[in-house]
Amino acid sequence: MKKSVLLCISLVLVVFMVGCSNTKNESKMTTTNNTTTTATDSSKSIAIVTTEKSQYPVNVSEIKLTVKNNSKNKLYFGEDFSLEKKVNNNWSDVPKTTKISPDTICKVDKDKSFDVSFDIANQYSNLDKGEYRAVVELSKDKNDLSNTTKVYAEFTLM
Short-list 107, 157, 111, 101, CA closest to 134: 157
Domain membership of residue 11 (yes or no) is no
Which pTM value belongs to this model?
0.72
Query: pLDDT grade, residue 103 (50/70/90)?
Result: low
Domain membership of residue 4 (yes or no) is no
The least confident of 46-55, 103-112, 142-151 is 142-151
Domain membership of residue 15 (yes or no) is no
Domain membership of residue 18 (yes or no) is no
In terms of pLDDT, which residue wins out, 140 or 31?
A: 140
- Domain of residue 147, CATH code: 2.60.40.2550
Report the pLDDT averaged over residues 95-101. 80
24: how many CB neighbours lie within 10 A of its CB?
8
In terms of pLDDT, which residue wins out, 144 or 16?
A: 144
Domain membership of residue 19 (yes or no) is no
Number of structural domains, the chain?
1
Domain membership of residue 20 (yes or no) is no
Q: How far apart are the first and last CA of the chain?
A: 65
Q: Range of 65's domain?
A: 25-157
Domain membership of residue 16 (yes or no) is no
